[in-house]
């Protein structure tokens, strides 16, 4: 019955139950709270950060209400594996992009659904290199995180178990770690609720937007913004690629898109003329995505259809590369308004010299690797980026950070932030696992603080 | 499109032949059926804009002559009618609908200045020359209203036209793409291996006889 109602218009989590995403037509019980009932936590956004935190807080006995701007999908009945159809999973409300390297938003970096990015991401779940949590003191760049790597690795264990991550028995990089729960894959996600605590978990664009839009007499520059850093230090990850044609039929889109990954240049510091690292991985673009990459080379008409005939023979390597935090890369409010009359965001982004050196290094390296694999007609895709982090960084000092290690804002004790926007640096791996691990840590810390009467 | 390098390597292969087989599930049928039912008459563009849009699509998106054309202009019109944005735009461009209205009017204006007629009345060679000038950022008529023509070309024309074209099953068939993978899934992941629901490739230099054989095999792909 409710299965057929339009999930984009009708909230499905209602009447004491929510859709069971693992069972066609199924429901799971969901606790509800009256509009005039005070709850312990109101969480805005249910992605990798918000949903994880909601789960762990509820398990500890806190009352939690979670809000999301997007639909609560039933993947088994409502998802077709189709590029155009998947557009409904992304944040498609307008944002304006400028700077030297205007970002392309959407599929690579922003979801709109119950579950957020975890509904559409490529499932690449990599840990941060331990030194990255102290990259200012140990590696000489960026900013130190206010958390210890050993603590984070404990939460990585927790998340990898909960998600049943598949991976090699012996991970080739970094300190020893537990076995992944699954063996390696064969190669080839209502307004008026009173809450004691509000957790903002809307990701690196919508989180600062919400804080900035919420400016009032008491907080004229936006909530939690005494440091002036809300919206600043936006970090993407560079996402350049090298592509070539193989004699063999490859059909690179078969199976998960990034089946083989190397973290060599995350853990190797020699022979680099830049700070930071990158992971590189195999790729599997679908037809429109591949045509878009070729459009980026200026190809259209007959030149494009000729190239598209080689689609099943294409192979490519792509990086997830670290970019440095820069205050000039930022999210601000534009004059233009959205459908609710609220200011939309302006996203300003420019690579710095270090970012450019990292990209050049990776392209040279991947070109050699692709040649060695028999790649012909090799070319470089130069302008892509992925993921969003920063804009509400965590730290030890209220003057230089927006939240503390627990995600609690320095200015407003009952305002917490739990998503990728708290990252002081971004590392060279996909961010979702670290967002989830941080959410588990924040949940644990809230429990500890509550038991001490310090909430 | 007739030379060896541009003709399809997958003769006889039709993604839609899988529609009523276990390769597709109800949601896949619904999604693709709706796409195939896109109205062919414009609901967003007026007649002048429609003529320019249809001409631009035909000029930019090269299609095989031996099958019905994918209605790229109609798919573009449907998207504009629904005002379906991408979630972002380059600050130098106006919003989706305004960019398209401005761009098409500007192309007609450039065409009139250069040749005395609108885009739709140019020869194909003249159209290609005008589009190429747009790609190179060489068009500056006041009708562009300060929108950079090269950015309109890369961020709107190519992005929107090819996004539409490669969402169509006929385009998937042309490049040997299997179509939606769920619920069937891929089993054979290694090189030069294909699952029974995937297209058989004919080498670019294959003979007519070899292509006939491949065509027969592809007729059995379900």
Closest CA to A214 of A30, A439, A202, B36: A202
8 Å CB contact of A295 and B87: no
In the predicted structure, residue B130 carries a pLDDT above the cut 90: yes
**Torsion B77-B82-B87-B92 (CA) sign:** positive
CA B86 to chain centroid: 17
In the predicted structure, residue A197 carries a pLDDT above the cut 70: no
Question: What is the predicted pLDDT for the residue at A259?
Answer: 77
Segment among A266-275, B41-50, B146-155 with least mean pLDDT: A266-275
Residues B72, B78, B82, B88: what is their CA dihedral angle, to the nearest 10 degrees?
10
Nearest chain A CA: its distance from B212 CA (Å) = 18
Question: What is the predicted pLDDT for the residue at A3?
Answer: 44
Whole-number mean pLDDT of chain B? Answer: 95
pLDDT digits (tens, 9 = 90+) for A51-105: 999 999 999 999 999 999 999 999 999 999 999 999 889 888 899 999 999 998 8
Which residues of chain A have a CB within 8 Å of the CB of B78?
none
Interface test with A, best of B7, B87, B206 (most A CBs within 10 A): B87
The complex scores an ipTM of 0.96
B196 near A CB under 8 A: no
Question: By three-state DSSP, how is residue A386 classified?
Answer: strand
8 Å CB contact of A312 and B201: yes
Interface test with B, best of A84, A331, A336, A375 (most B CBs within 10 A): A84
| Other CB atoms within 10 A of residue A320 CB | 27
Q: Across residues A220-229, what is the average pLDDT?
A: 88
Closest CA to A403 of A149, A146, A195: A146
In the predicted structure, residue A234 carries a pLDDT above the cut 90: yes
Contacts 24+ apart (CB under 8 A), A350-355: A350/A99, A350/A100, A350/A101, A350/A326, A351/A100, A351/A101, A351/A238, A351/A323, A352/A323, A352/A324, A352/A326, A354/A141, A354/A274, A354/A275, A354/A276, A354/A324, A355/A238, A355/A321, A355/A323, A355/A324
8 Å CB contact of B182 and A83: no
Determine contact, residues A96/B91, Cβ cutoff 8 Å: yes
Q: Alpha helix (H) ranges present in A333-431?
A: 353-372
B55 near A CB under 8 A: no
Determine contact, residues A212/A188, Cβ cutoff 8 Å: no
Dig out the tokens for A330 from the structure. Answer: 């930022």
In the predicted structure, residue B59 carries a pLDDT above the cut 80: yes
**Separation of alpha carbons A216 and A195, rounded Å:** 19
Question: By three-state DSSP, how is residue A42 classified?
Answer: strand
In the predicted structure, residue A271 carries a pLDDT above the cut 90: no
User: HSE-up of A85 (CA within 13 Å, CB side)?
Assistant: 19
Q: Across residues B56-77, what is the average pLDDT?
A: 97
Nearest-CB residue to B60 (from A95, A186, A301): A301
In the predicted structure, residue A192 carries a pLDDT above the cut 60: no
**Separation of alpha carbons A120 and A141, rounded Å:** 32
Question: What is the predicted pLDDT for the residue at A424?
Answer: 97
| Residue A433 burial (10 A CB sphere; 0-12, 13-18, 19+) | buried
**DSSP secondary structure code for residue A403 in this structure:** B
B28 near A CB under 8 A: yes
Interface test with B, best of A76, A79, A251, A384 (most B CBs within 10 A): A251
8 Å CB contact of B167 and A82: yes
Question: By three-state DSSP, how is residue A336 classified?
Answer: strand
DSSP bridge partners of A431: none
**Separation of alpha carbons A71 and A12, rounded Å:** 8
Determine contact, residues A231/A95, Cβ cutoff 8 Å: no
Nearest-CB residue to A186 (from B8, B30, B189): B189
**DSSP secondary structure code for residue A39 in this structure:** E
| Ordered structural domains, chain A, with CATH | 33-451 (3.50.50.60)
**Separation of alpha carbons B24 and B20, rounded Å:** 7
Nearest-CB residue to A304 (from B30, B62, B176): B62
Dig out the tokens for B150 from the structure. Answer: 């090269």
8 Å CB contact of A249 and B201: yes
Nearest residue on chain A to B167, alpha-carbon basis: A84
Question: What is the predicted pLDDT for the residue at A445?
Answer: 97
Whole-number mean pLDDT of chain A? Answer: 90
Strand pairing report for A343-348 and A330-337: antiparallel
**Separation of alpha carbons A269 and A272, rounded Å:** 6
Which residues of chain B have a CB within 8 Å of the CB of A297?
none
Dig out the tokens for B75 from the structure. Answer: 């798919």
| Other CB atoms within 10 A of residue A112 CB | 25
Nearest residue on chain B to A111, alpha-carbon basis: B87
For A428, list phi and psi in degrees, rounded to 5.
Answer: -110, 35
**Separation of alpha carbons A399 and A133, rounded Å:** 20
CA B156 to chain centroid: 13
8 Å CB contact of B87 and A93: yes
In the predicted structure, residue A144 carries a pLDDT above the cut 90: yes
Question: What is the predicted pLDDT for the residue at B3?
Answer: 67
**Separation of alpha carbons A139 and A397, rounded Å:** 20
In the predicted structure, residue B189 carries a pLDDT above the cut 90: no
**DSSP secondary structure code for residue B154 in this structure:** I
**Separation of alpha carbons B132 and B126, rounded Å:** 10
Which residues of chain B have a CB within 8 Å of the CB of A338?
none
Nearest-CB residue to B167 (from A84, A96, A254): A84
B90 near A CB under 8 A: yes
| Residue B35 burial (10 A CB sphere; 0-12, 13-18, 19+) | middle
8 Å CB contact of A312 and B171: no
| Residue A171 burial (10 A CB sphere; 0-12, 13-18, 19+) | middle
Nearest-CB residue to A187 (from B27, B90, B189): B189
In the predicted structure, residue B68 carries a pLDDT above the cut 90: yes
Catalytic site residue A154? no
Which residues of chain B have a CB within 8 Å of the CB of A309?
5-9, 175, 204
Q: Which residue has better confidence, A206 or A130?
A: A130
What percent of chain A lies above the pLDDT cut of 70?
95
**CA distance readout (Å), B215 to A48, B137, B219:** 47, 43, 6
Residue of A120, A361, A387, A444 with catalytic role: A387
Nearest residue on chain A to B127, alpha-carbon basis: A301
A/B interface, count of CB pairs below 8 Å: 157
8 Å CB contact of B8 and A248: no
Question: What is the predicted pLDDT for the residue at A213?
Answer: 81
**Which residues make Cβ contacts (< 8 Å) with residue B182, sequence separation at least 6?**
A79, A80, A81, B25, B28
Band (pLDDT 50/70/90 cuts) for residue A199 is low
Closest CA to A84 of B76, B56, B95: B76
Task: List all residues of chain B from 114 to 133 with a beta carbon under 8 Å from chain A.
Answer: 128, 131
Nearest chain A CA: its distance from B219 CA (Å) = 19
| Other CB atoms within 10 A of residue B159 CB | 17
Residue A374: left if φ>0, alpha if ψ -120 to 50, beta else—which one?
left
Dig out the tokens for A236 from the structure. Answer: 């993407």
**Which residues make Cβ contacts (< 8 Å) with residue A133, sequence separation at least 6?**
A144, A145, A147, A148, A149, A152
Nearest-CB residue to A295 (from B84, B162, B201): B162
**Separation of alpha carbons A423 and A133, rounded Å:** 10
Between the two ends of chain A, the Cα-to-Cα distance in Å is 42
Q: Across residues A384-408, what is the average pLDDT?
A: 95
Question: What is the predicted pLDDT for the residue at A257?
Answer: 76
In the predicted structure, residue A267 carries a pLDDT above the cut 80: yes
8 Å CB contact of A80 and B135: no
Q: What is the crossing angle of helices B124-135 and B47-60, to 10°? A: 90
In the predicted structure, residue B160 carries a pLDDT above the cut 90: yes
Band (pLDDT 50/70/90 cuts) for residue A203 is low
Band (pLDDT 50/70/90 cuts) for residue B1 is very low
Nearest-CB residue to A92 (from B1, B87, B166): B87
Nearest chain A CA: its distance from B194 CA (Å) = 9
The reply to whether omega before B183 is within 30° of 0 (cis) is yes
Question: What is the predicted pLDDT for the residue at A184?
Answer: 78
In the predicted structure, residue A196 carries a pLDDT above the cut 50: no
B160 near A CB under 8 A: no
């Amino acid at each position: 019955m409710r299965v057929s109602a339009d999930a984009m218009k009708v909230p499905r989590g209602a009447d004491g139950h929510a859709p069971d995403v693992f069972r066609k037509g199924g429901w799971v019980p969901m606790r509800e709270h009256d509009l005039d009932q005070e709850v312990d936590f109101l969480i805005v956004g249910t992605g990798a950060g918000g949903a994880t935190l909601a789960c762990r807080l509820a398990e500890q006995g806190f009352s939690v209400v979670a809000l999301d701007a997007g639909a609560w999908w039933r993947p088994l009945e409502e998802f077709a594996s189709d590029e155009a159809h998947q557009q409904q999973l992304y944040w498609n409300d307008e944002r304006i992009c400028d700077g030297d390297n205007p970002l392309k938003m959407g599929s690579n970096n922003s979801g709109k659904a119950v579950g957020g990015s975890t509904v559409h991401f490529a499932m690449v779940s990599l840990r941060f290199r331990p030194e990255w949590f102290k990259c200012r003191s140990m590696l000489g760049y960026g900013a130190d995180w206010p958390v210890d790597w050993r603590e984070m690795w404990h939460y990585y264990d927790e998340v990898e178990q909960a998600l049943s991550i598949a991976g090699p028995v012996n991970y080739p990089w970094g300190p020893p770690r537990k076995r992944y729960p699954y063996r390696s894959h064969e190669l080839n996600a209502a307004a008026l609720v009173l809450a004691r605590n509000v957790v903002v978990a809307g990701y690196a664009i919508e989180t600062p937007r919400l804080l900035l839009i919420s400016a009032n007499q008491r907080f004229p520059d936006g909530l939690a913004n005494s440091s002036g850093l809300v919206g600043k230090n936006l970090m993407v990850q560079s996402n350049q690629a090298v592509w070539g044609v193989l004699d063999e039929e490859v059909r690179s889109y078969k199976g998960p898109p990034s089946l083989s990954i190397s973290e060599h240049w995350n853990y190797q510091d020699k022979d680099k003329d830049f700070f930071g690292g990158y992971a590189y991985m195999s790729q599997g673009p679908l037809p429109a995505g591949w045509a878009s990459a070729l459009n980026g080379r200026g190809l259209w008409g007959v030149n494009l259809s000729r190239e598209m005939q080689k689609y099943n023979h294409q192979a490519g390597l792509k990086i997830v590369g670290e970019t440095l935090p820069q205050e000039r890369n930022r999210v601000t409010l534009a004059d233009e308004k959205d459908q609710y009359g609220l200011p939309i965001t302006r996203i300003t982004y420019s690579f710095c010299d270090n970012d450019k050196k990292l990209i050049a290094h990776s392209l040279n390296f991947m070109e050699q690797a692709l040649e060695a694999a028999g790649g012909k007609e090799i070319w470089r895709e130069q302008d892509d980026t992925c993921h969003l982090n920063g804009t509400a960084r965590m730290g030890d000092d209220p003057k230089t950070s927006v939240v503390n290690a627990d995600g609690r804002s320095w200015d407003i004790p009952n305002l917490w932030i739990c998503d990728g926007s708290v990252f002081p640096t971004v590392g060279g791996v996909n961010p979702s696992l670290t967002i989830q691990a941080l959410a588990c840590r924040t949940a644990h810390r809230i429990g500890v603080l509550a038991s001490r009467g310090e909430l | 499109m007739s030379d060896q390098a541009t003709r399809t390597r997958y003769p006889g292969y039709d993604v839609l032949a899988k529609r009523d087989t276990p390769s597709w599930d109800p949601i896949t049928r619904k999604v693709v059926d709706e796409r195939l039912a896109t109205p062919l008459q414009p609901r967003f563009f007026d007649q002048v804009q429609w003529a320019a849009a249809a001409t631009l699509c035909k000029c930019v998106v090269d299609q095989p002559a031996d099958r019905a054309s994918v209605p790229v202009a109609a798919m573009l019109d449907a998207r504009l009618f629904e005002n379906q944005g991408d979630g972002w735009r380059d600050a130098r461009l106006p919003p989706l609908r305004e960019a398209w209205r401005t761009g098409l009017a500007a192309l007609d204006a450039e065409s009139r200045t250069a040749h005395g007629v609108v885009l739709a009345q140019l020869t194909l060679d003249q159209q290609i020359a005008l589009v190429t000038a747009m790609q190179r950022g060489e068009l500056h008529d006041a009708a562009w209203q300060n929108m950079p023509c090269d950015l309109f070309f890369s961020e709107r024309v190519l992005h929107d036209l090819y996004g539409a074209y490669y969402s169509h099953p006929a385009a998937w068939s042309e490049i040997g793409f299997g179509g939606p993978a769920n619920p069937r899934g891929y089993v054979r992941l290694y090189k030069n291996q294909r699952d029974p629901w995937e297209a058989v490739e004919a080498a670019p230099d294959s003979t007519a006889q070899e292509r006939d054989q491949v065509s027969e095999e592809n007729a059995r792909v379900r």
